[in-house]
């Protein structure tokens, strides 16, 4: 983008608040725990109603409509993670995976709603219409207990680091996915034989070109086209899956318990949209349409869940234990189905700049604030190209797609989706002196699930990655 989406006259930086100033701002919103507008399940964090918290923003050239926001959300989540879900079902077992997938989806949606409501609650308190994830965390910490209040900047950087790891990890996975599919396509349809590493290097050229696009609005037409192509490709794959199904008795209903962490990591990677939720929501001039019951967030997650469950369940049922890291590698060796792989590659290529948008938005904001205008454009493009090259090099170093997906999902996606939002909500309720037993209980449960998944998923992924390198 030519300038930060969140820039204001004051730079939109959240300054640390002294005690009296904090109390003044914290009590700007009267909180009523019995109010029907209380929390992320469709209710707000205090006295103001939905119309006040989600007030209409001034429309500008960067504003996007709800339809455009829905296209972005669906495109971001319909990526490589979805195509690896049949392997996730192999780790969990057919029916256990079918039961756990909606549960994890519901938890992810709930935590994402926590984050969106917290952003608007804190924004209302601070009279700011747009805030990014890291500054939401910073402001929540500064509204928290006295012993943690001065550590807002530290927590902001912790979120930023996780955001960078997650988004750049996604981008590196995209390189591996595209290289695997292009290699198989050309190996089986032509005399061109290039190694996986060679394809990763060649893909660097079009990815660098796409990452010169700096505005979400400019990416919207590409995202919409990619969504259509992706849906067509998925429908063709599903038709192939349904054409020769095995009996459900041919695969385990419940997998090995030691493999469940890999299921968790893969599913968390598949729900990879949390980092772009606030950037997309902040671009909407009518943010109320993002959070309502039939709004952008719920609708996109519901549609994607149906697709996830269908691909995961029937993909594993079709190929059984022979299922590959991504289901595209299991397609028949015919020209028609090999062409489908190219369709998927083109769609994933469009997803790359969408994922890349999040870390670059933060970097561009810093550049506009700290660097003299004459040097800003050069530095922005230098950093853009440098980060793309870094993700390419990471893909070269860890070319094992399934294990890489599980590792990124267990570490970065879990922190952003399941750890930080409950912490932010607890701090927001603390600022209102409304930390009830029920609020503590639900957020502690969420945090326990997150820590368990983080620890076991990371351990299992690293163990298998080390084992895979040892066998090379």
Cβ neighbours of 111 (radius 10 Å):
24
Structure confidence by residue, pLDDT tens digits, 439-470: 999 999 999 999 998 899 888 888 888 877 76
Residue that wins the pLDDT comparison between 471 and 86? 86
Predicted TM-score of the model (pTM): 0.79
pLDDT range class, residue 39, cuts 50, 70, 90: low
For the chain, the average pLDDT equals 82
Residue keyed to tokens 């996007």: 64
Closest CA relative to residue 277, chosen from 146, 75, 133: 133
Q: Which of 38-47, 359-368, 422-431 has the lowest mean pLDDT?
A: 38-47
Q: Which residues contact residue 89 at a Cβ distance below 8 angstroms, ignoring those fewer than 6 apart?
A: 97, 98, 263, 312, 313, 315, 316
- What is the predicted pLDDT for the residue at 151? 92
Structure confidence by residue, pLDDT tens digits, 172-213: 888 999 999 999 899 888 888 899 889 999 999 999 998 888
Q: Rounded CA gap, 332 and 276, in Å?
A: 35
Residue 7 has pLDDT above 70, yes or no: no
Residue 34 has pLDDT above 70, yes or no: no
Give the distance between the most distant pair of CA atoms in the chain. 73
Closest CA relative to residue 60, chosen from 137, 98, 4: 4
Q: Which domains are delineated in the chain?
A: 19-470 (1.20.1740.10)
Structure confidence by residue, pLDDT tens digits, 135-164: 999 999 999 999 999 999 999 999 988 888
- What is the predicted pLDDT for the residue at 286? 86
Closest CA relative to residue 141, chosen from 162, 157, 128: 157
pLDDT range class, residue 93, cuts 50, 70, 90: very high
Residue 42 has pLDDT above 50, yes or no: no
Beta partners for residue 64, in sequence order: 284
Q: How far is CA 387 from CA 207, 226, 391, 396, 437, in A?
A: 11, 24, 6, 14, 45
């Amino acid at each position: 983008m030519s300038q930060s989406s969140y820039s204001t006259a004051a730079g939109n930086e959240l300054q640390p608040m002294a005690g009296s100033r904090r109390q003044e701002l914290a009590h700007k919103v009267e909180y009523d725990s019995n109010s029907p507008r209380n929390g992320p399940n469709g209710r707000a964090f205090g006295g103001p109603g939905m119309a006040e918290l989600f007030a209409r923003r001034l429309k500008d050239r960067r504003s996007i409509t709800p339809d455009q926001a829905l296209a972005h959300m669906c495109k971001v989540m319909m990526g490589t993670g979805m195509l690896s879900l049949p392997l996730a079902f192999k780790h969990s077992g057919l029916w256990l995976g079918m039961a756990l997938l909606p549960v994890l989806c519901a938890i992810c949606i709930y935590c994402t709603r926590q984050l969106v409501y917290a952003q608007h609650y804190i924004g209302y308190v601070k009279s700011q219409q747009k805030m990014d994830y890291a500054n939401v965390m910073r402001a929540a910490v500064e509204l928290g207990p006295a012993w943690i209040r001065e550590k807002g900047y530290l927590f902001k950087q912790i979120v930023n680091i996780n955001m960078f790891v997650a988004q750049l990890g996604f981008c590196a996975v995209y390189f591996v996915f595209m290289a695997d599919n292009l290699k198989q396509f050309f190996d089986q349809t032509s005399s061109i034989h290039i190694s996986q590493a060679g394809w990763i290097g060649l893909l660097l050229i079009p990815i660098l070109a796409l990452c010169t696009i700096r505005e979400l609005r400019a990416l919207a037409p590409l995202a919409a086209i990619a969504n259509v192509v992706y849906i067509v490709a998925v429908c063709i794959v599903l038709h192939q899956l349904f054409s020769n199904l095995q009996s459900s008795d041919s695969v385990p209903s419940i997998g090995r318990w030691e493999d469940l962490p890999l299921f968790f990591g893969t599913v968390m990677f598949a729900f990879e949209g949390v980092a772009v939720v606030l950037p997309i929501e902040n671009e909407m001039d009518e943010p109320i349409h993002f959070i309502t019951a039939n709004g952008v967030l719920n609708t996109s997650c519901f549609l994607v869940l149906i697709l996830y469950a269908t691909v995961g369940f029937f993909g594993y049922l079709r190929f059984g234990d022979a299922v590959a890291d991504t289901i595209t590698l299991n397609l028949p060796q015919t020209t028609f189905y090999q062409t489908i792989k190219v369709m998927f590659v083109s769609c994933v290529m469009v997803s790359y700049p969408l994922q890349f948008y999040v870390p670059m938005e933060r970097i561009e904001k810093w550049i506009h604030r700290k660097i003299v205008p004459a040097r800003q454009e050069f530095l922005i493009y230098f950093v853009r190209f440098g980060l793309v090259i870094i993700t390419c090099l990471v893909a070269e170093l860890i070319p094992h797609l399934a294990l890489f997906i599980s590792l990124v999902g267990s570490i970065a996606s879990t922190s952003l989706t399941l750890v930080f939002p409950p912490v932010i909500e607890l701090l927001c309720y603390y600022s209102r002196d409304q930390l009830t037993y029920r609020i503590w209980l639900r957020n502690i449960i969420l945090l326990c699930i997150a820590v368990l998944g983080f620890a076991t998923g990371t351990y299992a992924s690293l163990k298998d990655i080390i084992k895979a390198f040892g066998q090379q």
